[in-house]
Chain A
Amino acid sequence: MIYTQSPLAIALFVAFVLFVLGLSFYLARRTTSSEGYYAAGGNIHWFVNGIAFAGDYLSAASFLGICGMIATAGYDGFLYSIGYLAGWMVALFLVAEPMKRLGKYTFTDALDSKFNSKAIQLAAAISTLVVSVFYLIPQMVGAGVLVQPLLGMPHYVGVIIVGIVVTLIVATAGMASTTYVQFMKGGLLLICSSILVFGILGRGLTTSPDQGGKKAYHDFKTIQANVAADGSLLLSDASYTAPADWQAGSLAEAGFVKLTKDGIDSIWQVKPAAAGYELVETLWVTTLADGTKLYNGAPKEEGRFFAVGSIKELKVDGVDVAETGAVGPFSFLKKIKDSTVTLWGKQYVKNPDGSKTLIYYQKPTSGSRILRPGLKFKVDNATGTDKFNFISLMLALFCGTAALPHILIRYYTVPSQAAARKSTLVAIASIGFFYILTLFMGIGAMTNGVINLTDNNMSAPLVALSFGVILFSIISSIAFATVLGTVSGLIVAASGAVAHDLMDNFLGIKMTDAGKVMAGKISAVVVGIIAIYLGIVFEGMNVSFLVGWAFAVAASANLPAILMLLFWKKTTAKGVAASIIVGLVSAMGLILISPDMWVRYGMLPQNAPISFNSPALVSIPLSFIALVVVSLMTQGSAVAAPVED
């Protein structure tokens, strides 16, 4: 409804995909050993690997999800940026060098390096597979979401295209082509996001964002209303009429009224004023009994639903102004802090005819409130459960990064521990820089009249569209590449778990080196097909919800095992295996019985067995306890040697 399909965007996307495939086939001719397939021969330069880390890590959730969340909920979206980056400190200080020192191709190798234990091989391989697949689902769903506006194709086509392209990339050249795809994508994402932020700052702030003169902002109206002696509503704008029974029904109970002008209905929020009422225009989506959706009372194509996002009162040094002109980054944030921005709340109303209306109403919010946590996460006057959820989420973000298998395998592509460390440093610099940009891109969308309230995931590409179709095309292609890159990293990790950890090590199937590469490629194709299937099945599921799930599961299953193996000499093989299984099962189990999942099962959230949604604060300690208890009970068996060389 708000998107335009651009031939340029399609051409750029196709060109990018062809280039990547060409590169993969070229590199495939050099990838004949299993070392080449799983670890790119271990000879990638640390700088390339560092940017490729950024490519791996800045997934669709980072680029689309975080910017979209900042655009609608302010600083709370930025909390994800902070948490995701902080997780890299665990990777740099504790995990990078030992991982490089201990492992060969996979995370399981590193965990198992001291023990040669079947239990560890099985547990770690399962954990790698589970985490990779759960991380794959949101990426594939994201691919489908992107393809709709960009190429005008249905969701499942996007999922299948991405699935096939990525499986080809991985199955041809494994980690080598994946690394170069990630390097290019990571680099392009940083460059184009910087250009976009320059554009946002150069345009400055205004109370009537017109997208650089391209599109007039829909000026949401306010009407004064008084109640007449007979109970009817008298409106200051006589072109509108209100129904006589405006005070009855579910709409009125929710604080809204339906007005009619020239035969077209509109819904207004009723606010008590000094004299009478003030009626404020809203946006609304009605879902009819047969599932048809009407946007502001009409089908999507009629375009009655507006993009939103504007500053209500713009203050510079305490004085109201209409626009600021170009501003610097700190001045941009300061002016937002001193101003009032129109955000949007939403409310569901059940209609007498069985249809449901979702009303989006204006919520003027002070800038200082937007630039601090609390609009999405309940931190003010929070209950114990609210606080628990918040701390648990921040813990999962902190601990999840260094436990993601597709991140960990990147440590095997560089030649030395020093290179592993330096590539992490490059990753922190580039990812940190990008995360700072997310705040500006998100707030840029919030104030430039480009947000589609029914799906905020497209906020960042839509700000780009306000600067012209070229930037939009490039940014959209990169968003696609983002999905391609992250998915290929995950498929390498998952295929390594199957072919290297399970078939080669755990089952002890004798294979030649070429056979190992073939096993990896076949596994990649199978995992790719599973990912395509799941991407289609999970259409419509919230992307960041699933990413949070993957982080929590990864942090619970893998991190305690990694850390204790490195830093506790009494760790035993059985302890490591127990920790992985307990972490995996408890994190997944807690998610499955959480209030959020209860809603998805079609039940009331308050009836769920537990009251919290983020499992990390329970499952991570459980995983640590399992490791310590089982290790102490099995001291007679293999004990980890000190990690010193």
Chain B
Amino acid sequence: MGHGPAVKLGKDYASGYKTKLGIWMFIAYTIVYAIFVGINTTNPALMEETVMGQTLAVVYGFGLIILAFIMAIVYNHFCTAAEERLNK
């Protein structure tokens, strides 16, 4: 039926580890995002408070974008290390 990957993939012994790590990091990011949405829904005036010279909304919003980048680097680092360790 023509299913399966477009290119031949080697066996990946690290996939179990990567899946677990992905789920935990996903949960962590989702909690931070949910708190952001939660504050906006329950106490939006708090977002106007000054934190480090900026409104909390700016700090939290930039924080979410930068956190995404940092977590992506960390995730990639550990996944690559696991692939090198387990797929020898």
Contacts and interface: CB of A to CB of B under 8 A. Distances in A.
A101 B5 contact: yes
Given A93-B29, A101-B15, A371-B58, A432 B23 contact: no
Contacts of A39: 6
Given A89-B71, A93-B75, A100-B5, A333 B22 contact: no
Give chain A's interface residue range (CB within 8 Å of chain B): 35 or more
A373 B15 contact: no
B44 A334 contact: no
A249 B12 CA distance: 76
Interface in B27-81: 29-30, 33, 36-37, 40-41, 44-45, 47-48, 50, 53-58, 61-62, 64-66, 68-69, 71-73, 75-76, 79-80
Contacts of A94: 22-23, 26
Interface string A463-481: 0000000000000000000
A371 B59 CA distance: 10
Given A101-B9, A372-B47, A373-B47, A86 B3 contact: no
Q: How large is the interface on B (under 10, 10 to 19, 20 to 34, 35 or more residues)?
A: 35 or more
A101 B12 contact: yes
A93 B83 contact: no
Given A85-B65, A97-B15, A421-B76, A109 B3 contact: yes
Contacts of B18: 97
A18 B29 CA distance: 43
A379 B22 CA distance: 32
Nearest to B26: A93
A146 to B, nearest CB: 27
Contacts of A374: 44, 47
Contacts of A337: 50, 54-55, 58
A634 interface: no
A39 B4 CA distance: 13
Nearest to A412: B6
B72 A424 contact: yes
Given A86-B33, A372-B48, A379-B41, A116 B1 contact: yes
Given A368-B55, A372-B47, A394-B37, A82 B23 contact: no
Given A101-B5, A417-B12, A380 B44 contact: yes
A322 interface: no
A75 B54 CA distance: 13
B88 to A, nearest CB: 15
A361 interface: no
A152 interface: no
A380 B39 CA distance: 11
Interface in A398-430: 398, 412, 415-418, 421-422, 424-425, 428-429
Contacts of A101: 5, 9, 12, 15
Contact of A421 (B30, B33, B79): B79
A388 to B, nearest CB: 9
B23 to A, nearest CB: 7
Contacts of A379: 40-41, 44
Interface in A77-129: 78-79, 81-82, 85-86, 88-90, 92-94, 97-98, 100-105, 109, 112-113, 116
B62 A436 contact: yes
B33 to A, nearest CB: 5
A109 to B, nearest CB: 5
Contacts of B48: 368-369, 371-372
Contacts of A88: 68
Interface in A188-225: none
Interface in A28-58: 35, 38-39, 41-43
Contacts of B62: 436
Nearest to B38: A391
A315 B44 CA distance: 24
A13 interface: no
B54 A334 contact: yes
A643 interface: yes
Contacts of A390: 37, 40-41
A126 B75 CA distance: 34
Contacts of A75: 57-58, 61
Contacts of A109: 2-4
Interface in A324-374: 330, 333-334, 337, 368-369, 371-374
A86 B29 contact: yes
A295 interface: no
B54 A85 contact: no
A382 B40 CA distance: 11
A505 B55 contact: no
Nearest to B64: A82
Given A75-B58, A104-B5, A371-B58, 5 more contacts: A82-B65, A85-B64, A416-B7, A421-B79, A645-B15
11 contacts: A38-B6, A41-B6, A94-B22, A103-B3, A103-B5, A372-B48, A373-B47, A417-B12, A428-B68, A505-B1, A644-B16
Interface of B: 1-7, 9-13, 15-16, 18-19, 22-23, 25-26, 29-30, 33, 36-37, 40-41, 44-45, 47-48, 50, 53-58, 61-62, 64-66, 68-69, 71-73, 75-76, 79-80, 83
What 6 A-B pairs are tightest by C-beta distance, nearest first? A42-B7, A93-B26, A372-B57, A93-B22, A372-B47, A42-B6
